[in-house]
Amino acid sequence: MKLVVSLGQMDVKWGDPAANLATAAAMTDEAARRGSDVVVFPELWSSAYDFENAAQYAAPLGQGIFAETAALAQKHQIYILGSCLSLLGEGKFGNTAVLFAPDGQMVADYSKTHLFRLMNEEQYLTAGDKVTLAETAWGQWGLAICYDLRFPELFRQYALMGANLAFLPSEWPHPRLAHWRTLLRARAIENQMFMAACNRVGEQTGTRFFGHSTIVDPWGEIVLELG
């Protein structure tokens, strides 16, 4: 059965969930108009890395930005995936990707297990402690986030669990474009699965993000690469 995926590559506005949600809503509308089954957004697409104000944005799953995303999925009858700041407990925040179904129900959630020190994630976030497979009509999908791409064990585990596709919301910066391309192809080839990665564009606190959101097939061939 054919699966149509849209990659919502966007310039994430620092600490502005309302503006970012409006961008995501417009992209979701366009993805649905094009007949897409899934639309994927970048890592921390609602707030970017504004960790010092995480308490303003983070919400328990099912509330806040997660509830708004669920409503968007239901409105447009489409799967939506991307990561946002989540409230894991009193004073504990996660970088959590949630897959919402076209009926607005949460299919799967995954909190980033490998925290990226160059963005100070370990100072503000709590690492996830589980892997996540989403059961869909197209097969099983694995969820990962950005820096996780550098850890092949995670994707091997997904492959051994039966995944045929892994999604990767990201904020992957310059100058590591060659690493991005190489690692996406490697994860696809070694596990014989599709990789669908959505990376942000724009600049934040002196760091530039290059986009190049990409879909790679199990042969390592690039199906789609944005600019």
CATH classification of the domain holding 126: 3.60.110.10
What pLDDT score does 205 carry?
83
Rounded-to-integer distance, Cα 80 and Cα 74, Å: 10
Rounded-to-integer distance, Cα 158 and Cα 147, Å: 16
Task: Count CB-CB contacts under 10 A for residue 47.
Answer: 22
Output Rg (C-alpha) for the chain, integer angstroms. 16
What pLDDT score does 119 carry?
76
What pLDDT score does 90 carry?
82
* 12 membership: H or E segment, kind and range: none
Per the listing, tokens 């995480």 go with: 54
Per the listing, tokens 């879909």 go with: 215
What pLDDT score does 17 carry?
96
Q: How many domains does the chain have?
A: 1
Q: How far apart are the first and last CA of the chain?
A: 28
Rounded-to-integer distance, Cα 217 and Cα 165, Å: 9
Residues marked active site are found at: 43, 112, 146
Angle ∠(93,98,104) on CA atoms, nearest 5: 125
> Is-contact 125 112, C-beta < 8 A?
yes
What pLDDT score does 89 carry?
83
What pLDDT score does 190 carry?
98
Q: What is the pLDDT along the chain (227 residues), one digit of tens a residue?
A: 899 999 999 999 999 999 999 999 999 999 999 999 999 999 999 999 999 999 999 999 999 999 999 999 999 999 999 999 999 988 899 999 999 999 999 999 999 999 988 777 888 899 999 998 999 999 999 999 999 999 999 999 999 999 999 999 999 999 999 999 999 999 999 999 999 999 999 998 889 999 999 999 999 999 999 99
What pLDDT score does 172 carry?
96
Residue 118 CB partners (closer than 8 Å, separation 6+): none
Residue 46 sits at φ, ψ, to 5 deg, of -90, -20
Q: Which domain holds residue 186?
A: 5-225
What pLDDT score does 110 carry?
98
pTM of the shown model: 0.96
